[in-house]
Amino acid sequence: MELLTNTNHGLYCPQADVYIDPWKRVKKALITHGHSDHARPGHQQYLCHTKSVAILKHRLGKAITVQGVDYNECIRINGVQFSFHPAGHIIGSCQIRVEYKGEVWVITGDYKTQDDGVCTPYEVVQCHTMITECTFGLPVFRWEAQEKVAKNINAWCLENERNGETSLIYAYSLGKAQRVHALLEEGIAQVYTHPTVYKTNEVLLEQHLFDRTSICFDKDHFPKKGGIIIAPVAFSRSNWVKKNRKLQEAMVSGWMQMRGTRRRQGLDQGFVLSDHADWKGLLMAVKESKAERVIATHGYQDVFAKYCTELGLQGETYDTAFEGETVDV
- 42 belongs to the binding site for another protein (CB under 8 A): no
Q: Please, which residue, 144 or 202, has the CB nearer to another protein?
A: 144
Chain centroid offset of residue 29 CA: 18
C-alpha 205/C-alpha 246 separation (Å) is 31
With contacts defined by CB under 8 A, how many residues of the chain interact with another protein?
A: 24
Span 306-325, contacts to another protein by CB under 8 A? 306-307, 310, 319, 323
Single-letter residue type at 151: K
Evaluate whether 269 touches 159 at the Cβ level (below 8 Å).
no
Cα first-last separation, the chain: 38
Phi-psi region of 243 (alpha: psi -120 to 50; beta: other; left: phi over 0): alpha
- 253 belongs to the binding site for another protein (CB under 8 A): no
Q: Please, which residue, 81 or 261, has the CB nearer to another protein?
A: 261
Stretch that binds another protein, among 42-50, 87-95, 215-223, 303-311 (CB under 8 A): 303-311
- 261 belongs to the binding site for another protein (CB under 8 A): yes
Span 102-161, contacts to another protein by CB under 8 A? 138-142
In the complex, the smallest distance separating the C-beta of residue 257 from another protein, rounded to whole angstroms, is 7
C-alpha 177/C-alpha 233 separation (Å) is 11
The residue from 75, 182, 241, 303 that contacts another protein (CB under 8 A) is 303
C-alpha 82/C-alpha 73 separation (Å) is 8
Q: Which residues lie closer than 8 Å to 301 by C-beta, 6 or more apart? A: 134, 137, 317, 318, 319
In the complex, the smallest distance separating the C-beta of residue 267 from another protein, rounded to whole angstroms, is 8
Q: Which residues bind another protein (CB under 8 A)?
A: 138-142, 257-261, 263-264, 266, 268-269, 300, 302-303, 306-307, 310, 319, 323, 328
